[in-house]
Structure 1
């Protein structure tokens, strides 16, 4: 009797454990499905609202929903194919609106963060063996997301604007895995390495100790922070150049907008498209400031030193700020000076750390940050450009490898000496403070003034003010 009771109790505990694990995995799958569904739903609502507001809709809501599904794949980095063209040849559309890409990335980030938080609570409140591992939960989340993506791909594979199957099959899983990995690193820190496959962990353990320390220690965190600051500085400078060019050609911008959209609904649609492509224009502006420039068609080049003649372009408002063909003038050379300097200053500011580490460590951190900045800039340049058609429209945007090399080179050449100089200044400031001395910027005001026929020093922060002697 007791053996039956003990066995029943054991089976019951195993059943509860399996039920708890299945519930956690099912919740992760539902979270992935919800993230994908919300992204598709937001885009579908936006496209349907614009279709309803259009005074001359030339199609039913089915085409609008196909467009929303295509935009969802485009937001992940996938390409589209425009079937209806004047020549009858399908034309690819490969430019990814980077602002649109923020929607699926943000939804995936929130879903992954909640899933990791749930796994941490389950480990704290129950037996770890009774809860699913974070790797399993993230895999279930990814499976749910890709399940919705597969259905959307089948739906968007027909129509006038279809999703390129191979591009979608590569872009959606790649974007999802990269977002989940970044979220795990942001949430768990170095402990996120435990989520990697065992084969990767064993391979990483065979690396030299110095390299493993550089890739996992605080130096990597400092280099990532410095690289992020330098990349944001490049993008801010590129956005400023773009807006300045549009402001200088405001008349051309208004003319292109009027030619492209005759009513207010079409104008709002074009302006929303320009807003979604504004981060792309910022990347183009950063490539312009770094030197490699970008192309606006096959065989063309737009750079600070010269701009080549270009074929007739569609009247798109964001292209109205392009410089005129010919050699670059001094105002057009200013971006080539501002963008690298801004990136190098920000990189040196964060790579110098606390100023007390060795100069080799500071130089190595700054150099690693420059490499990471180049990698991030190359990825953004690759996503910001692409094809807008066939023939002359088959190449738009910057070259990813030239832009990445230029970003790494400029930030490394100027950022490493800047980080060393900042480190030296901070060490001197700390030494002066320990010796009771202060840097020159903390000295009292040494301006002289004349009172009662004699010169005296004006009062500092610890000096009594001058008073006239009384009789």
Structure 2
């Protein structure tokens, strides 16, 4: 009986632990469902508002809901299929990059909340049971992913029918891939090195075989510095792409306006078209970046739009963004001048690497060698090239069949050009800035040393003129101490002169007394003279200032 009674609390504690773990896993699953539902709901509200604002909607709300589901799946990278009037399906493979922000942001927030829950359940004291309430991050992220994919599966089943439907195979691949990549990036950012526990055992064994030098380069502060430099270069490239896109639209404003009026005669339709152009503006910015890098992009099978020239292309859809495409013909000095833009990106990369290579003077970090600086710059150029290749691959795709089967830049040519431009400018620029920073740092150190030496040289006469009792005075009171020292020296010399005169007078008086008085009275006269001298010294001490008493004594 007592054995069953003793086991009761243990079983109750085990039950509480299991309940807490189940609650954490359920909360993570619900977080994935909420993230998917919020993204799908936001697009649904936007599409329904446009449908309500339309003066003559040609269909009911069901088609608007289908369009919202299609857009949500397309935001993950999935392709769509449009049924033409002839009944031939035409693929739509361009991913709107602005809409990608919606699911990625929601997944990132859900993963951060789930990982924070896992961190709260960890034991705080060393003696606590590590498996009492803690749930592995891999388990929580798996539950979150399961909840997210459940909503995605329902949206795919709903969006598979209609004139504009989702392509099942691409959606089944890209939706989980986007979710897994977002969760992995969030876990690695928050957990840092413990985030490696999320990798499979084979991946961990492969990482263990990496040489120590390469592991140090890729896993320390140098890898972070390369990532920051790549971010600066990538921002410069995309900014230049936006400028080129807007410049093309301004130069062909008449054609852009005609396309807008032809496509949407009423104000509600024009607002819808402008909103669509805004959603596709990041795609156009990537196309402009590819144009500035040199490879350019294509607007139909067999066509090329680049700074060296624009080849003939098929008739384009009347979309205002496509109205800014340059006319067919060879390039000129104005189009060749876009080569300055990737040079600016390489300069920013070099500046960022050089700043990291020369740590601030107050830190204990040692400056990087020229080889480490060059390697970090090359790594940053590689990161920038990989990012541009991914963006170029997502920004392009098909808008139909035949001549419309290829739109956008080539992902591998764009990535290779971005790597080459940033490396060609960034590596020598980083090395040159490193040398210049070291030179200026040495000059600053020499100047500081000379100033300290001059200050020490100017301070020596002041110390010599200062009295012995004032050697410990503060630098702010040097002038006051020097004045007090001069006053004490003057008083001391005056007192010495007075004492000598008193001694001389006393000696003369005692000699006269010895001559005029008997020998027995000479001792009494000398005692009187000494008493008079002591009185004179006491009076001089009383007349001296209080601050110079030590000096007079």
TM-score (norm 1): 0.90
Question: What corresponds to 2:90 in structure 1?
Answer: 91
Mapped to 2, the partners of 1:276 and 1:128 lie a distance apart of 48
Secondary structure of 2:413's aligned partner: helix
Question: What corresponds to 1:423 in structure 2?
Answer: 434
Secondary structure of 1:277's aligned partner: helix
Mapped to 2, the partners of 1:101 and 1:314 lie a distance apart of 24
Range moving further from structure 2, 317-326 or 180-189: 180-189
Kept after mapping to 1: 8 A contact 2:123/2:134: no
Range moving further from structure 2, 406-415 or 185-194: 185-194
Question: What corresponds to 2:495 in structure 1?
Answer: none
Mapped to 2, the partners of 1:191 and 1:318 lie a distance apart of 45
Unaligned runs of 5+ in 2: 359-366, 450-553
Which of the two has higher C-alpha Rg? 2
**Structure 2 residue 110 is matched with structure 1 residue 111:** yes
Kept after mapping to 2: 8 A contact 1:98/1:276: yes
TM-score (norm 2): 0.77
Which whole-Å deviations, capped at 9, do the CAs of 1:96-140 have from their partners, x for residues lacking one?
010011100110111111111111111155743122111110111
**Structure 2 residue 68 is matched with structure 1 residue 76:** no
Mapped to 2, the partners of 1:287 and 1:191 lie a distance apart of 37
Q: How many residues are paired up?
A: 436
Question: What corresponds to 2:194 in structure 1?
Answer: 191
Which whole-Å deviations, capped at 9, do the CAs of 1:399-430 have from their partners, x for residues lacking one?
00000100011111111001111111111121
Unaligned runs of 5+ in 1: 439-471
Which whole-Å deviations, capped at 9, do the CAs of 1:285-323 have from their partners, x for residues lacking one?
010000000000111100000000111111110011111
Question: What corresponds to 1:260 in structure 2?
Answer: 263
Mapped to 2, the partners of 1:422 and 1:163 lie a distance apart of 51
Question: What corresponds to 1:331 in structure 2?
Answer: 334
Secondary structure of 2:447's aligned partner: coil
Range moving further from structure 2, 416-425 or 122-131: 122-131
Secondary structure of 1:82's aligned partner: strand
Mapped to 1, the partners of 2:357 and 2:389 lie a distance apart of 29
Which whole-Å deviations, capped at 9, do the CAs of 1:207-256 have from their partners, x for residues lacking one?
21112222211111111111111111110100011011111222222111
**Structure 2 residue 353 is matched with structure 1 residue 351:** yes
Range moving further from structure 2, 269-278 or 248-257: 248-257
Kept after mapping to 2: 8 A contact 1:374/1:408: yes
Mapped to 2, the partners of 1:191 and 1:324 lie a distance apart of 54
Secondary structure of 2:207's aligned partner: helix
Kept after mapping to 2: 8 A contact 1:386/1:395: yes
Question: What corresponds to 2:46 in structure 1?
Answer: 46
Range moving further from structure 2, 190-199 or 121-130: 121-130
Q: Please show how residues 378-393 of structure 1 align to structure 2 within 5 Å.
A: 378-393=389-404
Secondary structure of 2:306's aligned partner: coil
Mapped to 1, the partners of 2:260 and 2:123 lie a distance apart of 58
Correspondence for 1:291 among 287, 290, 294: 294
Secondary structure of 2:165's aligned partner: strand
Superposed displacement of residue 189, structure 1: 2.2
Larger relative contact order (Cα-Cα within 8 Å, sequence gap ≥ 6): 1
Range moving further from structure 2, 111-120 or 359-368: 111-120
4+ residue segments displaced more than 4 Å: 124-127
Kept after mapping to 2: 8 A contact 1:295/1:396: yes
Mapped to 1, the partners of 2:201 and 2:394 lie a distance apart of 31
- Higher helix proportion (structure 1 or 2): 2
